Copies of this chain bind each other. A is one copy, B any other.
Amino acid sequence: MKRYERFADEISELIRSGVLAPGERVPSVRQASRHYGISPSTVFQAYYLLENQGLIVARPRSGYFVREQAQRLLNEPEMNPCVQETADIAVSELVFSVLGSLQDSDTVPFGSAFPGPELFPLPRLARSMTKGLRALPADAIIADMTAGDPDLRRQIALRYRLTGVHLTPQELVITNGAMEALNLGFQCVTSPGDLVAIESPAFYASLQVLERLKLRAVEIPVHPREGIDLEALAESLARHPIKACWFMSHLQNPLGASLSDAKKQALYALLKQHQVPLIEDDVYAELYFGTTPPTPVKHYDDEGLVIHCGSFSKCLAPGYRVGWVAGGRYAESISRLKLMTTISPSVPAQVAIADYLQHGGYDRHLRRLRYALETQQGHMLDAAARYFPAGTRATRPSGGYFLWFEFPRQVDSLRLFHMAREQGISIAPGPIFSATQGYRHCARLSYGHPWTPRSEEAMALLGRLLASF
């Protein structure tokens, strides 16, 4: 990270944490330069970046100020307080129709599940592929199928260390993206008809997995910033025979909520008390905007109860389909289940990523990616504040690439979805994030693609559609 980026980060933390209040003056260029021991031009560069991110504004002849809505350009959505139990989940039709809307490459991809491809080091990965395949002994192409590429498993185990998790490469099973990891984890600890706890709103794919495996769901409310409601969970665990939980501890999809360390610890204690395994979906782990990597619930796991699922699909190599699962006490069963379903993910893709992790400059890429996403978040929030109707609420997550919007009650996001689609804009309407198809006046919008004048126009158009309700 460059010096000006580091400095911008510090100021951004001060704003996000409320130390610098909205409307307050940020240190002048001279003060900052003296206080932090950096050159005035570095301070200028940092302030320029923060301005782009929508966090500060320049006032002529007065200096820079924290933007009035810097902390929350729009109000925060409210938490849906109800715990709901659902027997028959049938969300797939709706999800497939939404996914179908993304197929047209001309669409403004606010509904997309992936960041823009231009944000990934694809040419560098291709070089790693060439190099990795050249170095691969012929018999490894067959031998590596069972357990996964040994270099890759070592590299992943190393990255876990950075987040405070100590595990051996043997606990890791390489999978076809996190989706397979999550499927295997769930199959391992449940049988058809079982009850499992999920978040509300929940990532739609988790609903599809439940539907496919014929599981019943208890939906636990998620606070838009602080994450899962632990009291509601404790009550549900006491009342129902819950067999497993599927939670995202960081940058929950769609809300972007992250659990504090204390809350993670309390969550683990609760699950341990009930001996209920946690499937921890942590695919956005690398996309935090702060300066320190978050610690997963897995860190507190002293009984092998947490099945931690990760992936390179959202942070490095979409389309390569390489994910993994650290399965705790279930690792062996998961590995066998994988052999019976897909045998192995593609060996060349594993080899390429293993080489890249060693030589490609992964951390440099991640820093760039995080900056790009943070800047894009600023643009989208800014546009939403300008174009969306009064009463609209929005999250402002500290990472990832999704915003969750709560529109005025009269908005029907399914109708909005169809209207927007007609105009060449995709969105992810609220009902796909719930087994009971709630959240009708909500939607998830992605800022994962570079911001262009077209994005701006699309936001304005969405604003006009919203006003028509």
* B-binding residues in A (CB < 8 A): 92, 96, 99, 103, 105, 112, 114, 117-118, 120, 122, 126, 129-130, 133-134, 138-146, 176-177, 179-180, 183, 192, 205, 208-209, 211-212, 318-322, 336-337, 339-349, 352
Q: Which of B118, B134, B142, B345 is within 8 Å of A318, CB to CB? A: B142
**13 CB-based A-B contacts, threshold 8 Å:** A103-B143, A118-B138, A120-B138, A122-B138, A130-B130, A176-B344, A176-B345, A183-B341, A319-B344, A322-B346, A345-B346, A348-B352, A349-B349
Known: A129-B130, A348-B348, A349-B349. 6 other contacts (CB 8 A): A120-B138, A126-B133, A180-B342, A192-B192, A319-B347, A321-B342
Q: A105 contacts B345, CB within 8 Å?
A: no
**Candidates B143, B146, B180, B346; contact of A349 at CB < 8 Å:** B346
Given A343-B176, A346-B346, A348-B349, A105 and B183 touching (CB < 8 A)?
Answer: no
Chain B contacts for A345, CB-based, 8 A: 176, 321, 346
| Identical copies of this chain, number | 2
Per CB-CB distance, the 4 closest pairs between chain A and chain B, nearest first, are A346-B346, A141-B319, A319-B347, A176-B342
**Are the C-beta atoms of B336 and A348 separated by less than 8 Å?**
no
Known: A117-B139, A192-B192. A320 touches B336 (CB 8 A): no
Q: Which residue on B lies nearest to A149, using beta carbons? A: B319
Instruction: Name the distance in Å between A142's Cβ and chain B's nearest Cβ.
Output: 5
Inter-chain CA distance A139–B318, complex, in Å, is: 10
- Indicate if the CB atoms of B341 and A319 lie closer than 8 Å: no
Contact partners of A141 in chain B: CB under 8 A:
117, 120, 122, 318-319
Known: A176-B342, A340-B205. A133 touches B129 (CB 8 A): yes
Specify the chain B residue showing the minimal Cβ separation from A100: B146
Q: Which residues of B contact A322 (CB under 8 A)?
A: 346
Chain B residues within an 8 Å CB radius of A212? 337, 340-341
Which B residues are in CB contact (< 8 Å) with A183? 340-342
Minimum CB distance partner of A145 in chain B: B319
Residues of B within 8 A of A336 (CB): 92, 96
A103 contacts across to B, CB distance below 8 A = 143, 146
